[in-house]
C-alpha cells in the first residue's frame, strides 16, 4: 500500500482568520505526526482569502519547529515567482535548522492570477518558459561550491534538500523524468492528464544522484467520517469553494451544506465531477475501497492527501480514520 502524506492548504474558514488557520496547521501537523504520516507539505498561493500559506517557507519553519520527526516541505514553491538563489537560501536555512526533514517541491504555475503574479515579480519576463533552467540553477546552488565560484548560497550549498517536480500536465512529467527527480501530480484538483503524465514519467525516467527509479506521489482528496452521509456533508465545503473559485468569487472556506450538488446547474455539476474526480468520500469501508482502487489504477508510491474540511476537529478525525484504514489494508496485504 502506498505511503500516506498530508497536503495542507492552511484553510481560512468563514468566521475565522489567518492566525487561527496557522494555529490549526500546527495542531494538525502534530496530530498526523503522531498518527504516522510521512510528510506534511504546504503550498504557495497568493491573493486567496481562504488560503493562509502564501509565505510558504515561513509556514514550513513554523511547522517544522513545532514537530520533531515528520518531513515538512513545499507542495510547492512556484519557482517563476522567485529567484532560484533566494529559494536556495530559504530552504538551505530550513534544512540547517531541521536536518533531514525538509522537502522542496517546485511548480511552474504562478499560484495566483496574473495581476498578482505581476505584483510579486514586478515583471513577467522570467516565467514558465525558463522553468527548466531555473530548476537546474536551483539544484546547482545546493551543490558544493567550486573553488572559483564567486556567488554562493549561504545557507544552501551542500545542504541535503530533496527536490520534487510538481505538475498537473505532461510538462512536469517530462522534466522530472529527464532530471531523474520524484514527481508529484496534482490529481486532487486537475486529474485530466493523470494517466498520460504517469506514462511519460515512468517510460522516460533517467536515473540521477537523487533517485535511481521513478517515484510518484499523487494528490488525493479524502474526506472520511463515521458515516457516508457525514463525509459527503463535509465534502460540500470543498465543492462550494471550487465553484466559487471557478466563477471568480474566491473566498474563505464555506461551512458545509446538505445536498449541495442538487442545487447546482448541470455545468457546475459537470465541472465538479471532473475537477474533483480523484476524491474518496465516506465511512471507513468506503474509504478503504476508494484508496485501494486508486492505488491499483495508478501504481502510486505515495498519496498526498488533502482535506479542506470546515470544522478542525472533523478534519483531524478524517485523518485518523484514513490512517487506521491504511494500517488495516497494509496488514491484510
Instruction: Give yes or no for a contact between 226 and 233, defined as CB atoms under 8 angstroms apart.
Output: no
Question: pLDDT tens across 171-187, in order?
Answer: 999 999 999 999 999 99
Q: Is the Cβ–Cβ distance between 62 and 26 less than 8 Å? A: yes
Geometric angle at alpha carbon 185, from 39 and 274, rounded to 5°: 120
Cα–Cα distance for residue pair 184/166, rounded to 1 Å: 5
- Same domain flag for 313 and 268: no
Same-domain pairing of 57 and 184: yes
- Cα–Cα distance, 256 to 309 (Å, whole number): 8
Local confidence band at 122 (pLDDT 50, 70, 90 cut-offs): low
**Among residues 73, 72, 91, which one has the least CA distance to residue 82?**
91
Whether residue 84 sits in one domain with residue 156:
yes
**Same domain (yes/no): 44, 150:** yes
Q: Using omega within 30 degrees of 0 as the cis cutoff, is the peptide bond preceding 76 cis?
A: yes
Residues 239 and 194 in one domain: no
What is the predicted pLDDT for the residue at 267? 93
Same domain, 129 and 144: yes
Q: Do residues 326 and 305 share a domain?
A: no
Residues 102 and 170 in one domain: yes
Same domain, 71 and 163: yes
Number of independent structural domains in the chain: 2
What confidence tier does 146 reach under pLDDT thresholds 50, 70, 90? confident
Residues 169, 233 within the same domain: no
Nearest residue to 162 via CA among 176, 152, 149 = 176
Count, residues in the chain: 333
User: Residue 294's domain spans which residues?
Assistant: 222-300+321-333
Do 94 and 41 fall into the same domain? Answer: yes
- Cα–Cα distance between 71 and 219 in angstroms, integer? 17
pLDDT at residue 123, rounded to an integer: 60
238 in the same domain as 129: no
Identify the CATH number of the domain in which residue 170 sits.
3.20.20.30
Q: What is the predicted pLDDT for the residue at 145?
A: 87
Question: Is-contact 116 46, C-beta < 8 A?
Answer: yes
Amino acid at each position: 500500500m502506498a505511503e500516506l502524506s498530508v497536503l495542507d492548504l492552511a484553510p481560512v474558514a468563514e468566521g475565522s482568520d489567518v492566525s487561527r488557520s496557522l494555529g490549526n496547521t500546527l495542531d494538525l501537523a502534530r496530530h498526523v505526526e503522531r498518527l504516522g504520516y510521512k510528510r506534511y507539505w504546504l503550498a504557495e498561493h497568493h491573493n486567496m482569502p481562504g488560503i493562509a500559506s502564501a509565505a510558504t517557507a515561513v509556514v514550513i519553519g513554523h511547522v517544522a519547529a513545532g514537530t520533531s520527526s515528520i518531513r515538512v516541505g513545499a507542495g510547492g514553491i512556484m519557482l517563476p515567482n522567485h529567484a532560484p538563489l533566494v529559494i536556495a537560501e530559504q530552504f538551505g536555512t530550513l534544512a540547517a535548522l531541521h536536518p533531514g526533514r525538509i522537502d522542496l517541491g517546485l511548480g511552474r504555475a504562478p499560484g495566483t492570477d496574473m495581476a498578482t503574479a505581476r505584483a510579486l515579480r514586478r515583471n513577467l519576463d522570467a516565467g514558465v518558459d525558463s522553468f527548466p533552467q531555473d530548476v537546474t540553477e536551483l539544484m546547482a546552488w545546493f551543490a558544493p561550491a567550486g573553488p572559483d565560484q564567486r556567488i554562493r548560497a549561504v545557507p544552501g550549498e551542500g545542504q541535503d534538500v530533496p527536490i520534487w517536480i510538481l505538475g498537473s500536465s505532461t510538462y512536469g512529467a517530462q522534466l522530472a523524468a529527464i532530471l531523474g527527480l520524484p514527481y508529484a501530480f496534482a490529481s486532487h484538483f486537475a486529474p485530466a492528464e493523470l494517466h498520460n503524465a504517469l506514462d511519460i514519467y515512468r517510460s522516460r525516467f533517467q536515473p540521477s544522484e537523487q533517485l535511481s527509479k521513478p517515484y510518484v506521489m499523487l494528490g488525493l482528496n479524502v474526506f472520511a467520517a463515521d458515516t457516508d452521509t457525514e463525509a459527503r456533508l463535509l465534502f460540500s465545503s470543498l465543492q462550494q469553494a471550487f465553484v466559487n473559485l471557478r466563477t471568480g468569487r474566491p473566498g474563505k472556506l464555506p461551512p458545509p451544506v446538505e445536498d449541495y450538488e442538487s442545487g447546482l446547474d448541470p455545468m457546475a455539476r459537470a465541472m465538479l465531477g471532473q475537477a474533483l474526480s480523484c476524491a474518496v468520500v465516506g465511512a471507513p469501508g468506503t474509504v478503504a475501497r476508494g484508496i485501494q482502487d486508486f492505488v491499483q489504477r495508478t501504481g502510486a508510491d505515495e498519496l498526498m492527501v488533502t482535506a479542506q474540511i470546515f470544522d478542525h476537529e472533523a478534519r483531524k478525525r478524517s485523518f485518523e480514520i484514513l490512517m487506521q484504514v491504511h494500517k488495516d489494508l497494509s496488514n491484510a496485504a
